[in-house]
Structure 1
Amino acid sequence: MTASIVMTTYNGEEHVEEQLQSLLNQSLKANEVLIYDDGSTDNTINIIRKFIASNDLSDSWKLIQNKENKGWKRNFMEGIWKAKGDYIFPCDQDDIWYDNKLEKMIKIMESHQQINLLVSDFEYMYGEQKVRNKPLDEKNPKLEKVELTKHWLRVDFPGCVFCIRKNMAQKSKNYYDAEYAHDDFFWRIGLFEQSLYILHDELIGHRVYKESTFSKEVLQLKTRPKKIEWLDLSINCCKSLMRMLNNDNITGKEKNLIVGTEKALKLRKKFYQTRNPIYGIMLIKYLNNYQFKKQYLGDWFFIYFR
């Protein structure tokens, strides 16, 4: 059994050393830690180099400086593909991993071979304040399988709490599009493979900012052109997953869900592009494909009032 941590960095000097220390403190040590810096202009590189040298980690910890800025999505995926471990852990530059994260997640993966993607609960960190991701429900099983539904585009956990089995990471190469976020894509593969599980144990503190790259991208979705881009990306995801199902000879419910979702997305795209109310009325047939019914009303507001 071997474990790889894949960390990406960009101008993270404020918190990166604290995160590195939390990786070093793991009760079960990673066999390799790959750190991909995407062109930092602050002191991030020097902090990482000094940490590796002062802790004599150069045999297993590697800092790779990208020759060009790849963006966080591509940077993560290429790093994950290069990882050699049986279990691969994506890592943000500014979280704090609790000491037993690797040990607990690998123990579950070793004893449950049906799991290709395991995610853990986490705590949000707002400055020094920690808040649960969601209220702890004692009735929930410790290990929960995530079931496939019509709302499969929704991703409930960030990639920093993922443990990816190597065969899933390698499989993803065949279906990945350069614009997919790694956490979105692996989550959806796990859903359709029936291999996605949640470990109800808070194993990291996940730092949240108002001005993170992710939050900026979410805000951009508040414009009609960006919404159309998101619809195109989601349609492409349907096509990628359908290719995967065809290659795996999977039929039935899984394919029907993708077909229904793709039809709904294409109709929404026509509605956004043409502003023709007929397409909006036709979308009533696909109300169940919306995670919340108010999102359907939101489409009308977006198209005619923004």
Structure 2
Amino acid sequence: MDQITILMAVYNPDKEWFKEQLSSLNQQTYPKVKLLICNDASPDISEKELEEFIDKYVDNIQWKLISNIENKGSTKTFERLTLEADGDYFAYCDQDDIWNKDKLYKELKYLKSNKACMVCCNADAIDTVGKILTKSYMCITDAEKEKIENNTIWKELLIRNCFWGCTMLISSDSARNSLPFCKNMYHDHYLALYASIQGRICFVDKALMQYRIHGDNQTGFLKDANDKKSYIKNRILPLRARYEMLLKKQLPEEYKAEIENVLKWVKSREEYAQGKWSRVFDMLRTGININLKTTMFEIMTLWLPERLWKWQIEWLKQNKGK
């Protein structure tokens, strides 16, 4: 029987949420599960306290706690977990969600039936007290489902992520072969992209877990873009290093050609953001088939005065989904 190892990164966990997550892992119906937890140098809880807490709520599966000497952030912590874990499959895990008892069992069954190397499931969104906010919160469009089915979702993943790490189950070979993780990409985005290039990924459109929404979630709509400077710093400037690193990976030529095209688009966006307005034509020429929405957004707004930029960002955040 294949072994599934759950990889969990922990940093200053809320004890009530952490208890609920640990309890849900402990109750998994799949019979061969291990749990590897990495404490990312949490300042407010000692390693001994963590061990005692975990031991209190996890008694049905084997577990181990390791610790970073200094804070590395979630991506580097998950990279270490991937490097040090054993097992046939890895399930990436946050510290504050709740998994259905049959999450791992159903995901592995679906992965094998589709001869895939990675599977993701949907999730219900819950609030801080566990009340369901939205059923099947992960919005995978029909177009994206078709790309998953046709094994062309990798082109979408070059530009944006549509999967969450906490929903993932991936073959350990695929995860290990992806190391080191790509700079300036969250671990889930990178793993989904790498898996979609190296093999087949699939999606279970059923909520097999509950994803907790709170103020400390790492991702969110334009969360890291409060002004023009932060948008350029967080949404444009890191991209060049990302795609340059991807080009150094051992990838088939057809994938490298597409990455090189995306890199040209990124460079034109970078120069346009720095005030080289003539780069607008290069942005349009490359961006029209890559991400027209982002291209037009930046062409129409990056020249705006700071005050107008902030106003439009706040308006977009408040009206998202309306």
TM-score scaled by length of structure 1: 0.84
Check 1:72–1:217 CA distance in 2 against 1; reply closer, same or farther (3 A cut): farther
Alignment gaps of 5+ in structure 2: 307-322
Check 1:19–1:283 CA distance in 2 against 1; reply closer, same or farther (3 A cut): same
Higher mean displacement: 33-42 or 160-169: 33-42
Measure, in 2, the Cα distance between the counterparts of 1:44 and 1:122. Answer: 31
Higher mean displacement: 7-16 or 123-132: 123-132
Counterpart AA for 2:165 = G
C-alpha RMSD of the superposition: 3.1
Check 1:137–1:231 CA distance in 2 against 1; reply closer, same or farther (3 A cut): closer
Alignment gaps of 5+ in structure 1: none
Measure, in 2, the Cα distance between the counterparts of 1:28 and 1:231. Answer: 42
Q: Which residue of the other structure, out of 233, 236, 239, is the alignment partner of 2:241? A: 236
Measure, in 2, the Cα distance between the counterparts of 1:298 and 1:95. Answer: 35
Check 1:304–1:280 CA distance in 2 against 1; reply closer, same or farther (3 A cut): farther
Q: Are residue 170 (structure 1) and residue 182 (structure 2) matched?
A: no
Q: Are residue 121 (structure 1) and residue 126 (structure 2) matched?
A: no
Measure, in 1, the Cα distance between the counterparts of 2:270 and 2:56. Answer: 54
Higher mean displacement: 119-128 or 80-89: 119-128
Residue-by-residue CA offset, 1:174-196 (whole Å, 9 max, x unaligned): 5x345431011111112323422
Check 1:178–1:219 CA distance in 2 against 1; reply closer, same or farther (3 A cut): closer
Taking only the aligned residue pairs, the percentage that are identical comes to: 22
Check 1:56–1:284 CA distance in 2 against 1; reply closer, same or farther (3 A cut): closer
Measure, in 2, the Cα distance between the counterparts of 1:52 and 1:6. Answer: 14
Check 1:222–1:159 CA distance in 2 against 1; reply closer, same or farther (3 A cut): farther
| Deviation (angstroms), 1:278 | 0.5
> Aligned residue for 1:301?
301
| Deviation (angstroms), 1:55 | 5.6
Are the equivalent residues in 2 in contact too, given 1:146–1:196 (CA < 8 A)?
yes
Are the equivalent residues in 2 in contact too, given 1:271–1:280 (CA < 8 A)?
yes
| Deviation (angstroms), 1:225 | 5.2
Check 1:223–1:75 CA distance in 2 against 1; reply closer, same or farther (3 A cut): farther
Measure, in 2, the Cα distance between the counterparts of 1:76 and 1:259. Answer: 27
| Deviation (angstroms), 1:154 | 1.0
Q: Are residue 153 (structure 1) and residue 159 (structure 2) matched?
A: yes
Aligned residue for 2:270, secondary structure, equals: helix
Check 1:269–1:165 CA distance in 2 against 1; reply closer, same or farther (3 A cut): same
> Aligned residue for 2:82?
80
TM-score scaled by length of structure 2: 0.80
Q: Which residue of the other structure, out of 100, 103, 109, is the alignment partner of 2:111? A: 109
Residue-by-residue CA offset, 1:144-182 (whole Å, 9 max, x unaligned): 4552365432111211001111111111115x3454310
Aligned residue for 1:107, secondary structure, equals: helix
> Aligned residue for 1:66?
68
Q: Are residue 26 (structure 1) and residue 32 (structure 2) matched?
A: no
Are the equivalent residues in 2 in contact too, given 1:4–1:32 (CA < 8 A)?
yes
Check 1:183–1:193 CA distance in 2 against 1; reply closer, same or farther (3 A cut): same
| Deviation (angstroms), 1:223 | 3.5
| Deviation (angstroms), 1:241 | 2.8
| Deviation (angstroms), 1:290 | 4.9
Are the equivalent residues in 2 in contact too, given 1:97–1:205 (CA < 8 A)?
yes
Counterpart AA for 1:164 = I
Are the equivalent residues in 1 in contact too, given 2:26–2:61 (CA < 8 A)?
no
1:125-144 paired onto structure 2 within 5 Å? 125-127=126-128, 128-131=131-134, 132-133=136-137, 144=149
Are the equivalent residues in 1 in contact too, given 2:98–2:210 (CA < 8 A)?
yes
Residue-by-residue CA offset, 1:206-234 (whole Å, 9 max, x unaligned): 11123433349832474335524543432
Check 1:116–1:221 CA distance in 2 against 1; reply closer, same or farther (3 A cut): farther
> Aligned residue for 2:204?
199
Are the equivalent residues in 2 in contact too, given 1:16–1:44 (CA < 8 A)?
no
Are the equivalent residues in 2 in contact too, given 1:27–1:99 (CA < 8 A)?
yes
Measure, in 1, the Cα distance between the counterparts of 2:149 and 2:155. Answer: 19
Runs ≥4 in structure 1, deviation > 6 angstroms?
Answer: 135-138
Q: Are residue 267 (structure 1) and residue 273 (structure 2) matched?
A: no
The count of residues paired between Structure 1 and Structure 2 equals 298
